[in-house]
Amino acid sequence: MRFLILTIFILFFSCTKKKTNSIDYSNIKDTIEIVPNEKPIRITDLADTISYIFLEENKNSIFGNIDKMIYTKNNIIIIDKHITKSIFIFKNNGKFLNKINREGKGPGEYIRIGDVFYDNSSDLIVIYDDKSYSFLYYKLSGEFIKKSNTSLLFLSMARLSNNKYVFHTNKMINKENGKLVKHDILISNLSGEISQRYFKFDPKQKTNNISYDLSTVFNKLNENIIVTKLFDNYSYEININGLTPRFFWNYGEKGLNIDYRNKPSSEIYKILTEDNKFAFGHDITAITNDYIFFSYGYKNFAKNQLGGVYAFNKKMTINFSSIFDELNNCHISLPICTDANGNFISFIELNEENISKLKEDSQLMNYIQSKGIYGINSILVKYKINSKLFNHEKI
């Protein structure tokens, strides 16, 4: 009888004690070689199909910044968290449809936009209000549907399945059944019932080791979610079964050595924002089943961001400083999202300096002249990768 009670006691505590889930690093699928290249790549070398999407401009469609872009089957959703504090909905051809601007404390209003995701199954836009700790659901027309509360504190999130999500807490302490949860990645439902937890942090440590710093961006690869730790050379694949390392980032002799990695974040950031010899801080900007676009810092994280693209089937990386559109004589951004057909979506920053450098009689200049400099909202660039690029040596 005493043995039975002891066995039940042990089983009870082994089942109820919440531990950090382990990570197996033995099966990395892809190694991404980073060789800093400070020369731009031409869009006509990079892409084999290129089209421009001119977002309609009117008094309701002007946004200040693209904090996040979601490309659905029929629409483009642009999130501007801080300037207009709004969500803008366009058709895929650029025609403006609607704006959700409901800042406030009343019914159907949000205090502050923390994150936004699109629910395919219900065709709803979901806003996470990180001040009221709630989710607000809207139709694409802007009609408010419902509000639900959550116990979770987080910076960004992504959907894994109908009722499972992955959350990046950004070292915010959560609670579950009265117990503190001190992990940077959580897999949970929207109610806060946590099933897995990864990357435990110490809240008493004022300056955490830099290896804990996660990208705020989640990317989707097939049915899985990819998250990147900016300085520990790995990106991780997440699904409802857990988290596993997916990519290894190889900087070679340009990488940060262990002496630097073990320094506290405040000290290492100071080093990396001054002139140095390192390449560091990789982040995935957009991904399809065939290619990954990424950015990273080189020599000075604050001033010098380089980029690259990796091909899964070729196991090859192309490194470059930026993407140059020689058809119009302007630089375009690294892609910030993809569409359902495997196209990458970048944008052109249309300030007066960039406009002054555009080629005469180019497609963009003709469009701008027809609208006037102050009649332009934004221009998106949609393209597919030129697979022939990867038949050559790395550049």
Using one digit for the tens of pLDDT, what is the confidence trace for 186-226?
Answer: 999 988 899 999 998 887 764 554 445 667 789 999 889 99
For residue 70, pLDDT beyond 70: yes
pLDDT band at 262 (very low <50, low <70, confident <90, very high): low
CA–CA distance, 215 with 193 (Å, rounded to integer): 24
CA–CA distance, 350 with 330 (Å, rounded to integer): 10
Dihedral angle over CA of 104, 109, 115, 117, nearest 10 = -160
For residue 314, pLDDT beyond 70: yes
The residues, ordered by sequence, that sit 6+ positions from 270 with a Cβ below 8 Å of its Cβ are none
CA–CA distance, 128 with 115 (Å, rounded to integer): 5
CA–CA distance, 39 with 324 (Å, rounded to integer): 10
| Residue 309 CA to its chain's centroid (Å) | 16
Give the type of residue at 40: P
Cα-Cα-Cα-Cα dihedral sign, residues 279, 282, 285, 289: positive
Higher pLDDT, 127 or 204: 127
| pLDDT score recorded for residue 5 | 43
The residues, ordered by sequence, that sit 6+ positions from 231 with a Cβ below 8 Å of its Cβ are 210, 211, 213, 256, 261, 268, 280, 281
For residue 9, pLDDT beyond 90: no
| pLDDT score recorded for residue 93 | 93
CA triple 391-338-146, angle to 5 deg: 165
pTM, full prediction: 0.88
Tokens of 336: 């910030």
pLDDT band at 30 (very low <50, low <70, confident <90, very high): very high
| pLDDT score recorded for residue 35 | 93
The residues, ordered by sequence, that sit 6+ positions from 293 with a Cβ below 8 Å of its Cβ are 284, 285, 286, 287, 307, 308, 309, 334, 335, 344
The mean pLDDT of 153-174, rounded to a whole number, is 89
pLDDT band at 145 (very low <50, low <70, confident <90, very high): very high
The residues, ordered by sequence, that sit 6+ positions from 184 with a Cβ below 8 Å of its Cβ are 168, 169, 170, 171, 198, 199, 200, 201, 212, 214
Tokens of 157: 């999130």
Tokens of 241: 């079964």
Give the type of residue at 339: D
Beta-bridge mates of residue 378 = 55
Phi-psi region of 117 (alpha: psi -120 to 50; beta: other; left: phi over 0): beta
Longest dimension (CA), the chain: 91
For residue 237, pLDDT beyond 70: yes
| pLDDT score recorded for residue 38 | 93
Q: Which fold has domain 30-385?
A: Neuraminidase (2.120.10)
Neighbours of 314 (CB within 10 A): 14
